[in-house]
């Protein structure tokens, strides 16, 4: 049986771990709230842009390099994971999906890694990593997304890849996040579907010009959304994991305290028995 000193030492160590997990939980909760606000704030812009592309498409068949489906020879996967660990199953779930997607991919492929964990994972696999980005920060802003999008478009523009996929984590709630794989390029626009009598818009300068600026904007907002979803998921996952760790620490401390009390009582009992025994021997 562990001595009282050992048990005390363990209680102390678990307590200090608990302090850390508790602090991490609160920090993640604050960050989660912030990413969620940003995510919600970004929604009207993205919706409106999609709506405008939809309206354009209703109006007339549109054609753009980023919309054209080409015969696929090589594809590129953008794998988006976190920079840090300690966030429950967040990274492993995502990377599991990435591994599955890569294994099932029937074409030649390259990958782009976003986040240190994705880079580590992919560099141990036998894959060609064409780009890597780390240190995205806790609150990605639109300019970052725009810069990232421009680089990805440049990569696509080389014509090496006919399809670009994003593997990221979709944010449902603080408790639920699920990794998904979405096609990023060529852009898939769903027609608005409602063939209502859309008013004839006047397009200035003309449809093509508008489209050629609208589509990059749409892609930028998509990248922005993916980044935000991934970050919100990361914070959510970390918060849940740290909350569980804190609860677990409480349980461990309870058990250890119980063990400590038992040990103390046992020690006292032995002492009394010894004294009584000693006194009895004297008589």
Partner 1 sequence: MQKEITLEMITPRGTILQQTVSYVQLPTKLGLIGILADHAPLISALDIGVVTYRPVGAAEKKAAISGGFLEVRDNKVVVLAPTAELADHIDLERAKAAYERAQQRLKNPTQDIDVDRARAAMFRALSRMRAKNTVR
Site for partner 1, rule CB under 8 A? 38, 41-42, 44-46, 48-49, 52, 55-56, 141-142, 145-146, 199-205, 209-210, 213-214, 217, 220-221, 224
Residue 207 Cβ vs partner 1, minimum distance, rounded to whole Å:
9
Residue 197 Cβ vs partner 1, minimum distance, rounded to whole Å:
12
Beta carbon nearer to partner 1, 103 or 202? 202
Three-state SS for 129? strand
Is the preceding peptide bond at 186 cis, omega within 30 degrees of 0? yes
Give yes or no: 105 in active site: no
d(CA 193, CA 240): 40
Beta carbon nearer to partner 1, 145 or 187? 145
Residue 43 Cβ vs partner 1, minimum distance, rounded to whole Å:
9
Beta carbon nearer to partner 1, 209 or 274? 209
For residue 147, what is the enclosing H or E element?
helix 142-157
CA distances from 277 to 15, 150, 157, 271, 272 (A): 40, 86, 91, 10, 8
> With contact defined as beta carbons under 8 Å apart, do 227 and 145 qualify?
yes
Residue 151 Cβ vs partner 1, minimum distance, rounded to whole Å:
14
Is the preceding peptide bond at 205 cis, omega within 30 degrees of 0? yes
Length of the chain: 283
Beta carbon nearer to partner 1, 95 or 148? 148
Query: Which tokens is 136 given?
Result: 């995205």
User: Side by side, which strands form the sheet with 74-80?
Assistant: 129-133, 108-114, 74-80, 163-171, 177-185
Beta carbon nearer to partner 1, 50 or 252? 50
Residue bearing tokens 């209680």: 11
Among 76, 87, 149, 218, the active-site one is 87
Q: Which residues contact 253 (CB under 8 A, 6 or more apart)?
A: 11, 14, 15, 18
**One-character DSSP codes across 172-183:** --SS-EEEEEEE
Beta carbon nearer to partner 1, 126 or 213? 213
Residue 210 Cβ vs partner 1, minimum distance, rounded to whole Å:
6
Residue 206 Cβ vs partner 1, minimum distance, rounded to whole Å:
10
Active site residues: 87
């Amino acid at each position: 049986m562990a001595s009282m000193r050992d048990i005390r030492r363990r209680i102390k160590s678990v307590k200090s771990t608990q302090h850390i997990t508790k602090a991490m939980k609160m920090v993640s909760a604050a960050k989660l709230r912030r990413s969620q606000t940003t995510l919600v704030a970004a929604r009207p812009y993205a919706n409106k842009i999609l709506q405008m592309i939809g309206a354009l498409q209703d109006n007339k068949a549109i054609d753009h390099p980023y919309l054209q489906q080409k015969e696929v020879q090589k594809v590129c996967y953008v794998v988006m994971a976190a920079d840090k660990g300690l966030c429950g199953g967040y990274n492993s779930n995502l990377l599991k999906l990435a591994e599955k997607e890569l294994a099932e991919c029937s074409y030649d492929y390259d990958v782009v890694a976003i986040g240190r964990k994705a880079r580590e994972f992919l560099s141990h696999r036998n894959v060609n990593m064409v780009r890597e980005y780390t240190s995205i920060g806790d609150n990605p802003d639109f300019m970052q997304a725009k810069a990232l999008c421009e680089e990805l478009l440049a990569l696509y523009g080389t014509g090496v890849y006919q399809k670009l996929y994003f593997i990221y984590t979709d944010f449902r709630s603080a408790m639920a996040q699920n990794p998904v794989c979405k096609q990023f390029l060529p852009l898939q626009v769903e027609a608005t579907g409602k063939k209502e009598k859309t008013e004839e818009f006047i397009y200035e300068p003309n449809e093509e010009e508008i489209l050629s600026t609208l589509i990059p904007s749409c892609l930028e907002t998509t990248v922005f959304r993916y980044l935000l979803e991934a970050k919100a998921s990361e914070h959510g996952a970390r918060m849940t994991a740290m909350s569980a760790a804190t609860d677990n620490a409480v349980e461990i401390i309870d058990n250890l305290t119980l063990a400590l009390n038992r040990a103390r009582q046992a020690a006292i009992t032995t002492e009394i028995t010894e004294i009584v025994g000693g006194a009895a021997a004297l008589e």
